[in-house]
Amino acid sequence: MDWLANHTDLRIHPDRLIDDARSILLVADVYASRADNIGSPLEQGQGRIARYARGKDYHKIMKKRLMALADDLRAEHPEAQFKVFVDTAPVLERELAQRAGLGWIGKHTLLIHPKIGSYFFLGGIVTTLDLEPPADQRPEPDHCGTCTRCIDACPTDAITPYSVDARKCISYLTIEHRSDIDPELVKHIGDWIYGCDICQEVCPHNSRRDDAQTINDAYTPTRDRFDLLEVLNWSEDDRREAFKGSAMKRAKLDMMKRNAKIVAQNQGLTLDQ
């Protein structure tokens, strides 16, 4: 989060990523189906992983596809410059995607597409090409209405309309927060060992989404849970091997063990290491 704060100017003015930038192409890549939204029950001694991190690393998958698109455009416009970004540049992707008509920002602050819900990644290309937007491109209106399901379902009360308090967000606490977690929040983390999907699980736009969209095989889950005792016995090499090829890079070894202890505590378990 400090990195983003230190790049505020670029986040507000992504055209400064390359000189003379004129256009930004935004792409949404679906990573979970309506069936995936239901989830599967956990057994005692297991911790749940957020859906975005269950398949291969989306940074690499999307970057490869966007680079291919940029190469195609470069072949037609060799004089133009292109810069690909997938969480690799301090850019306000959601706000830009909203302006591009890819959805609206929901009360849980995630972008929601009217047909595919919110389970998708965002990436883009900044270019010096002066591209004309489609005639029908316009920001998607807010369809949340009076619904407050995400707000009501959040175990830590992290969500208020169109705002999330990172200090209470389970995703932030389990992935980014490096020190001990407030005991008042610990009991609300439940079974989540890495990330959280609760606000998306309860969103009606994910339960009635159009599943006609093809999901990249790379996002097929390789694992949706961790064995708690296994995590508690990890070495650093074990952590790296478990995270290999996935987007699960940010949680350090001590954080994962902390998370495993929390989930075990919430399940009423005493695990011997």
**Secondary structure of 65-91 as H, E, C letters:** HHHHHHHHHHHHCCCCCEEEECCCCCC
pLDDT at 214: 67
pLDDT at 234: 98
Residue-wise pLDDT for 12-42, tens only, equals: 466 667 889 999 999 999 998 776 766 678 9
6 falls in which pLDDT band (50, 70, 90)?
very low
Residue-wise pLDDT for 216-239, tens only, equals: 889 999 999 999 999 999 999 999
pLDDT at 198 over 90: yes
pLDDT at 47 over 80: yes
CB 250 within 8 A of CB 173: no
Residue-wise pLDDT for 68-108, tens only, equals: 999 999 999 999 999 999 986 667 889 989 999 999 999 99
pLDDT at 28: 94
Q: Calculate mean pLDDT across residues 117-124.
A: 94
2 falls in which pLDDT band (50, 70, 90)?
very low
Alpha helices in the chain (DSSP H): 2-5, 8-12, 34-38, 58-76, 93-99, 149-153, 170-175, 183-186, 198-201, 204-207, 228-232, 236-243, 253-266
Is 227 noted as a catalytic residue in this protein? no
Residue-wise pLDDT for 150-191, tens only, equals: 999 999 999 999 999 999 999 999 999 999 999 999 999 999
Beta strands at 163-164 and 159-160: parallel, antiparallel or unpaired: antiparallel
Angle, alpha carbons 136-137-142 (nearest 5°): 110
Q: Calculate mean pLDDT across residues 245-259.
A: 95
Burial (CB count <10 Å: 0-12, 13-18, 19+), residue 268: exposed
At a CB cut-off of 8 Å and minimum separation 6, what does 22 contact? Answer: 15, 127, 128, 129, 130, 131
Q: Which amino acid is at 253?
A: L
Catalytic residue among 9, 19, 20, 87: 87
Over the chain, what is the mean pLDDT? 90
Q: Calculate mean pLDDT across residues 190-196.
A: 98
Query: How many CA atoms within 13 Å lie on the side-chain side of 191?
Result: 19
pLDDT at 272: 65
Q: How far apart are CA 221 and CA 57, in angstroms?
A: 11
pLDDT at 273 over 60: no
CA dihedral in degrees (100, 202, 50, 141; nearest 10)?
A: 10
pLDDT at 68: 98
Give the chain's end-to-end CA distance (angstroms, integer).
33
pLDDT at 5: 42
Residue with the two structure tokens 């005692």: 44
